[in-house]
Amino acid sequence: MANAAQKNLTLPIDSASAGMVSDTNKDGKYDSVKDGEKNAMEWRVGRYFDGPVVTVMEIAIPQDLQGKTVKVISAELQLSANGSNGTYPDDKPQIAPDTLIYAYTGKQADGKVTVEDVLDADGKPVGEEVGYLIENQTPVKAGTRIKADITAACQKAFDARATTLGLRLQSKTVPDELGCWRWRGTTFAQKYGKNYMPVLKLKIEVE
């Protein structure tokens, strides 16, 4: 890319396009959505009081990049842990599960959080597994910034000329008992410090 211009971008995660999806019936089918600002103090992954829960974030690709030839040099999802150990229960952080990141584009990446963002019609996970956000028994404290490399997934989204990138944080296996990771959402960051804001940081070259 001889004439490429390098850019550093911080893409915000909008609370209107992020939230939690739960399996309240505990039957393997996700049936309840909590999105928007009032549900963005904390996002959870694992098993909470209302059943297995995943976090969904749909990130808009900037319009000035849509349709362009983009090389992703690096892409990093950044989230801040909530709670004294980043988990619930606080006194049993070892129960919090391995958490995977799934990425998806296409019709499900529509800027809205829905139950269809978790499982497809055949009951299979939507999108592709692109790595770990955090592994079980990772020691963290309140506010710890966790960074996950999703460079390949972002490159795929740009190559597909996607307008939105969907990311889902999901347990590798759902705990049998109450246990989840807790992440500071956008509303928390607006109230208590922008440094806690969940973001996608990109370093790219644009032709």
Report pLDDT digits (tens) over 145-195.
Answer: 999 999 999 999 999 999 999 999 999 999 999 999 999 999 999 999 999
Alpha helix positions (H), 110-150 = none
> Average pLDDT for residues 120-144, to the nearest whole number?
96
The rounded percent of the chain whose pLDDT value lies above 70 is: 98
CB-based burial label for 150 (10 Å; 0-12, 13-18, 19+): buried
Q: Report d(CA 168, CA 6) in Å as an integer.
A: 28
Q: Report d(CA 37, CA 102) in Å as an integer.
A: 23
Question: Three-class SS of residue 117?
Answer: helix
